[in-house]
């Protein structure tokens, strides 16, 4: 027979209820401990249930009547006062108390206790005992602590996050927000933001439709990622934000709220806009660059086609800009470009465009044109505005420009064609004397093609050994002997014959080819001079012209040294020529470069003297050996008193500074006599010889080619001067 359980026995009607056994079973099997203690200083236990050992590690008889230890003693000291205070407060009100505190078990382990109890009074009404129940809540407290820690961490993240965090209701107001979001939107606190923004769509978003797009995506996909919008801050300023959000739904699937994060991306957007601007605008002037220019022309063509109007593309090129840029330095050239850009902008209307094509080239896009008269009115103003003097560091410069014009639709219907035609027209204007304009004509295509062909051929001329050097003798006035020669480049282009430097040097400078070409001339001149000397011919100095671009090249001094070394030529027989207009600007820096060249032992001369913007205070400090009087002054010295006075002054100045003076462009007996009379040191020009190939120059040095001597001016005492080749009278 199956034995009866205690419960069976309790419910059996025939068995009497054993209350004592029932209470013993309950107290023994309880998770916690039942107790009765006195209301005294140590909470003296008069009764504890058997769970005492499981709860505290002490046996019941060790705790009762404080036989081994009191319950007050096993309560952690830091909790004792609080526990006593809370219990007595409840007892005074005849209320059930509930306290949580820590005890130290017999094995040393600390546990959390939950104690509930009630006060018991004696027959006199005094509070004498407490009867109650204790249980170990350590696991619960650990779980609570973990939960609190998670809450603290979340709260910390929420409160201190640099990203804005939000919860918004479907109807468009904020339910919750963190301080970062409040700061992003310009509010002092999250509470202020929540109170103020009751209609997110219309109060926050610059474009309310953007909020509509946000809501559509949330309903369709349940989330948005990197959703960028412009929003208003509290002060009315506009910023860019990026949102990431998702939908939180109720169990039935309906929307509870939206929550997500917000990042202020205004700085990034500004940086992107700056990069986009840099990609489409010139970094110096801020004007549209080539890329944006083509887009502007495209837009203008579309508009003109729709409205039946015309578009004028105006190509503007500064005259002599390279001279200023190379002589004064790029920093001055940049200031000039900024000035020109500002002037051009004042010449056009709001719907026109001004762009920088590159270098000193600008392009105007004139829209809504109906005839040449309108275009010419703007061009006339442009030429007048650009021609106004420009001041730089107290020095005045005269400016001018050459202008080429092409028009849609007659000259082309795409940006590249219109730009190419305007460019060709500009070159025609420049060839016509500069400071003028020229409309494109179909005949200019030949000129374009010829220039492009010339540029392409020039790029291969060095490697194909097509350059030649001719030499023009320099004559000593007192002895009539050849004392030097100027090396002048010629281009023997297949199919075109000999091309003079005036036709290709400017192209070489524009393309940067002048540096390798100049290096070749230098090496060839040194090699040839050394060869003449080895052949036993009288030693002379050979002068080589330096382009401003070549002079500014970092490797110039090294190139000169290498050329001398390779030719085994004494540096005293090499002279480097710089134009006066280049030398006299940015003088301090140029003087340093000159000193480096002089340290090699070469001579330096200033060419075209008198044509530039001379500063004699700088000139006297330069390590210069010769001044070369420009031929424009020599041409009329026998008929123009002003030219005669200038030449006399240059000779006197040169001698006063201890320099030799060379007159270029000597073509007549009258030139010769004047220069003899005023003690010019050396002469050069067609009166003596045109530039000749090296083999003919060698013959001149050997005295194999001479002409009948011409008597010097009567009473000059200068002796005879021999026109040795190709006199021009």
Q: Is 7 contained in some domain? A: no
Report the SS3 class of residue 579.
strand
Q: What is the pLDDT of residue 202?
A: 93
DSSP type of residue 502: G
Residue 75 has what DSSP assignment?
A: B
Which three-class secondary structure string do you get for 4-56? Answer: CCHHHHHHCCCCCCCHHHHHHHHHHHCCCEEEEEECCCCCCEEEECCHHHHHH
∠ CA(587), CA(590), CA(593), 5° rounding? 155
Residue-wise pLDDT for 584-604, tens only, equals: 555 666 778 888 889 999 999
Q: Is residue 147 part of a domain?
A: no
Cis check: omega of the bond before 409, within 30 degrees of 0: yes
211 in the same domain as 295: no
505 and 644 share one domain: yes
Please give the order of strands across the beta sheet that includes 164-168: 174-177, 164-168, 255-264, 238-249, 223-232
Contacts of 81 (CB under 8 A, 6+ apart): none
Out of 381, 407, 442, pick the residue that ends a domain: 442
- 718 found inside a domain: no
Say what the pLDDT of residue 485 is: 96
- Comparing CA positions, the residue from 510, 471, 516 lying closest to residue 490 is 471
Domain identity same for 487 and 564: yes
Same domain, 138 and 248: no
Q: Positive or negative, the Cα torsion across 704, 705, 710, 715?
A: negative
Spatial distance between the Cα atoms of 696 and 705, rounded to a whole number of angstroms: 9
The verdict on 403 and 537 lying in the same domain is: no
Q: How many domains does the chain have?
A: 4
Residue 150 within a domain: no
Q: Judge whether 331 lies within some domain.
A: yes
Whether 590 and 470 share a structural domain? yes
Give the pLDDT mean for 193-203: 93
The residue whose two tokens read 């281009």 is 491
Q: 388-426 burial by CB neighbour count: b if 16+ within 10 A, else e?
A: eebeeeeeeeebebbbbbbbbeebbeebeebbbbbbbbb
Q: Domain check: are 652 and 556 in the same one?
A: yes
Is residue 451 pLDDT above 90, yes or no? no
β-strand partners of 475: 482, 683
Q: Rounded to whole angstroms, how far apart are CA atoms 285 and 277? A: 12
Which residue, 407, 442, 477, sits at the end of a domain?
Answer: 442
Q: What pLDDT, on a 0 to 100 scale, did the predictor assign at position 724?
A: 53
Q: In whole angstroms, what is the distance from residue 416 CA to residue 411 CA?
A: 11
d(CA 682, CA 159): 89
Specify the pLDDT at position 604. Answer: 92
What does the DSSP 8-state code read for residue 252? T
Identify whether 4 is part of a domain: no
| 499 and 426 in a common domain | no
Within a domain: residue 722? Answer: no
Higher pLDDT, 421 or 326: 421
Q: What is the CATH number of the domain that holds 596?
A: 3.20.20.450
Average pLDDT over residues 295-306: 94
Residues 69, 181 within the same domain: no
Hunting for tokens 């070489």 — which residue is that?
Answer: 508
Instruction: Enumerate the β-bridge partners of residue 36.
Output: 47, 131
Spatial separation of the C-alpha atoms in residues 240 and 229, rounded to whole Å: 6
* pLDDT tens digit sequence for 244-297: 999 999 888 899 999 999 999 999 999 988 888 888 888 899 999 988 999 999
Tokens of 341: 């850009």
Which structural domain, as residue segments, surrounds residue 363? 282-442
Provide the 10 A C-beta neighbour count for residue 660: 18
- Where is the domain boundary, 418, 442, 466? 442
Q: Euclidean distance between the first and final Cα of the chain, in Å?
A: 157
Tell me what percent of the residues of the chain surpass a pLDDT of 90: 59
CA angle 626/631/634 to nearest 5° reads 100
pLDDT band at 606 (very low <50, low <70, confident <90, very high): confident
- pTM across the whole model: 0.51
Q: Is 290 found in the same domain as 257?
A: no
């Amino acid at each position: 027979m199956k034995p009866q359980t205690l419960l069976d026995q309790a419910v059996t009607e025939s068995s009497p209820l054993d209350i004592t056994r029932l209470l013993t079973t309950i107290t023994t099997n309880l998770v916690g401990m039942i107790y009765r203690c006195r209301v005294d200083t140590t909470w003296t236990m008069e009764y504890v249930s058997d769970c005492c050992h499981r709860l505290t590690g002490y046996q019941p008889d060790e705790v009762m009547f404080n036989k081994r230890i009191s319950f007050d003693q096993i309560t952690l000291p830091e909790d004792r006062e609080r526990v006593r205070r809370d219990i007595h407060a409840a007892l005074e009100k005849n209320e059930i108390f509930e306290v949580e505190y820590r005890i130290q078990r017999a094995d040393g382990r600390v546990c959390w206790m939950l104690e509930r109890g009630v006060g018991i009074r004696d027959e006199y009404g005094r509070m004498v005992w407490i009867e109650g129940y204790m249980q170990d809540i350590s696991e619960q407290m650990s779980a609570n602590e973990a939960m609190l820690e998670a809450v603290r961490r979340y709260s910390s993240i929420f409160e201190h996050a640099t990203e804005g965090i939000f919860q918004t209701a479907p109807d468009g107001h904020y339910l919750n927000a963190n301080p970062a979001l409040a700061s992003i939107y310009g509010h002092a606190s999250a509470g202020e933001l929540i109170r103020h923004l009751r209609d997110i769509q219309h109060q926050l978003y610059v474009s309310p439709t953007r909020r509509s797009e946000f809501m559509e995506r949330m309903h369709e996909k349940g989330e948005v990622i990197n959703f960028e919008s412009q929003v208003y801050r509290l002060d009315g300023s506009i910023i860019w934000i990026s949102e990431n959000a998702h939908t939180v739904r109720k169990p039935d699937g309906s929307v509870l709220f939206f929550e997500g994060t917000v990042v202020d991306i205004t700085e990034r957007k500004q940086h992107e806009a700056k990069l986009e601007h840099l990609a489409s605008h010139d970094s110096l002037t801020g004007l549209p660059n080539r890329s944006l220019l083509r887009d502007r022309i495209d837009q203008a063509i579309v508009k003109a086609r729709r409205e039946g109007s015309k578009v004028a593309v105006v190509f503007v090129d500064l005259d002599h800009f390279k001279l200023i840029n190379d002589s004064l330095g790029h920093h001055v050239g940049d200031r000039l470009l900024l000035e020109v850009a500002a002037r051009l902008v004042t010449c056009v209307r709001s719907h026109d465009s001004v762009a920088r094509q590159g270098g000193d080239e600008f392009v105007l896009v004139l829209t809504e044109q109906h005839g040449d008269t309108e275009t010419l009115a703007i061009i006339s103003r442009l030429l007048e505005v650009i021609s106004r003097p420009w001041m730089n560091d107290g020095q005045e410069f005269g400016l001018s420009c050459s202008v080429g014009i092409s028009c849609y639709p007659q000259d082309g219907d795409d940006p590249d064609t219109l730009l190419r035609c305007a460019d060709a027209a500009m070159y025609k204007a420049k060839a016509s004397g500069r400071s003028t304009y020229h409309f494109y004509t179909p005949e200019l295509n030949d000129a374009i093609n010829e220039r492009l062909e010339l540029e392409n051929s020039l790029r291969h001329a060095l490697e194909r050994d097509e350059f030649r050097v001719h030499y023009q003798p320099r004559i000593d006035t007192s002895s009539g002997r050849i004392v030097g020669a100027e090396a002048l480049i010629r281009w023997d282009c297949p199919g075109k014959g000999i091309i003079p430097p005036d036709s290709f040097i400017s192209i070489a400078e524009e393309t940067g080819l002048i540096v390798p070409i100049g290096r070749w001339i230098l090496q060839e001149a040194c090699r040839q001079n050394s060869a003449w000397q080895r052949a036993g011919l009288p030693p002379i100095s050979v002068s080589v012209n330096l382009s401003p671009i070549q002079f500014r090249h970092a490797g110039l001094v090294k190139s000169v040294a290498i050329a001398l070394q390779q030719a085994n030529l004494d540096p005293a027989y090499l002279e480097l020529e710089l134009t006066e207009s280049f030398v006299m600007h940015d003088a301090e820096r140029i003087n340093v470069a000159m000193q480096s060249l002089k340290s090699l032992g070469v001579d330096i001369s200033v060419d075209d003297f008198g044509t530039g913007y001379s500063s004699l205070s700088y000139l006297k400090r330069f390590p210069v050996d010769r001044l070369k009087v420009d031929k424009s002054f020599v041409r009329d010295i026998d008929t123009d008193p002003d030219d005669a006075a200038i030449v006399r002054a240059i000779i006197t100045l040169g001698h006063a500074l201890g320099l030799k003076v060379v007159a270029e462009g000597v073509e007549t007996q009258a030139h010769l006599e004047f220069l003899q009379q005023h003690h010019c040191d050396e002469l050069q020009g067609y009166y003596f010889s045109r530039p000749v190939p090296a083999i003919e120059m060698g013959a001149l040095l050997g005295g194999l080619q001479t002409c009948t001597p011409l008597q010097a001016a009567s009473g000059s005492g200068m002796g005879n001067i021999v026109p040795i080749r190709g006199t021009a009278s």
